[in-house]
Amino acid sequence: MISPRVNKINESEEKENEIQTLKNEMQRRVAELLTELEGVKKTNEKLENEQNEIQKKYECSEKEKREINKRNEENEEKVQHLSSEKEVIEKSIEEMYKLQKENNEKFEIERNTWKNERIEFEQKINKLEEMITNYEKAEGSDERNEIKEQQMQEEIIKLKMIQEKLQNEKVELQDHLERLVIDRNEEQERKRKEIEELKKRTEDLEKENAKVKESLGSNGIVNSLKQELEKKEKENQLIKDSNEKLQQYHVFITKEAQRIVQESDEKIKVFIKENDKNGQELLEQKKEIEFLKEGAKKESERKKRMVILYERKLDSMRELLQITQQKLAGFEEIKKHYKIQEEQLRKLEEEKKKEWKGNNEGEERENEQKLIISGIVIALKIANPKYEDTKYTVEKLFSEIQKERIDKYEWAEHIQSIFAKESLKEEN
């Protein structure tokens, strides 16, 4: 049977393991929360940077929009100014055509007048020639001829004067006509240049208006930026709400962790008190054992003096037989206990595998094996008090077992043989 002291040691180790597991779980949960908070902070910073960039883009687009509106106003003013200039030029063109039409009509009237006068002059010339012809044919007195000749001379002079006058008027009319043609050509050229310039300015204005219309298409970009900004603001609000919830959850977890730590501290304090109590009991038991050893030693010395060597050997044989029987009984109990403990450890290992994924499986196996060796040592010491002063520690026994590769079911027998050899050496 396993002594209460072994049970207390096992329970204390289990409590220590549970406390360490709680501490590790608490630290892991706190580390996960801190990591999650760091991720949320980085996400918030990233979203704030994106929001600032969108705000800058929005401000730039607003500035461009104001500039575009300003250019639109300037272009509208230019359009109005050019429209007024166009109206003035159109009116001036109409007046020019009207004046040209009047000049053409006037020129046509003067031309017709000059034609009529020319026709009359030609008629008079023809009449004069006819008179001269008739005069040459006619017969008459000298006086009549002189009078007629004088009349004819006067008529010729008048006709020459009329001819000169007509010639001068013709020259003046031609000069005036040429001047009118030159003026009209110059006026047409000037009006043509003005019209071309007006067309060019109109085309430039249309191009500018097209550019303005294209630039006004950026209003869609501005609206999309506004929508994106509103969307980001909503996302930021959601993130702020989630951050508040996460902060509340973090506060709850912190309080829970503090509570767990406090409970763990209380358990540790209780465990320390129990250990102190157990330590005192162990000291008392050790003192009692030492006292019994001293008494047994004195009794043995007294018996040595009283009994013969045969009785002493017989006692030794009886004692050895008793020890062997105790060892056999103890070994059977230890085997049963180890089987139960191994089954419990196997179940516990299966249950805790998911929780202890981060721990080293080799260290767990090593700790379990050391725990088994410690139980064997305690059982052997209880079964045989001679093994109480052994120099072999659990670590040393574990390293020898590992070195010799002894199976687990042979550990108790192997450790008992080591202790027996050590005891025989001390007796010799």
* Whole-prediction pTM: 0.29
Q: What is the pLDDT of residue 137?
A: 58
Tell me, what's the pLDDT at 309?
63
Quote the tokens at residue 103.
Answer: 């000049």
Q: Which residues in the chain show pLDDT less than 50?
A: 1, 139, 141, 218
pLDDT at position 141: 46
pLDDT at residue 150 in the model = 67
- The residues spanned by each domain of the chain are 9-265, 308-428
Residue 64 confidence (pLDDT): 74
**Cβ distance 8 to 381 under 8 Å?**
no
- CA dihedral over 130, 132, 137, 140, signed as positive or negative: positive
What pLDDT is attached to residue 30? Answer: 66
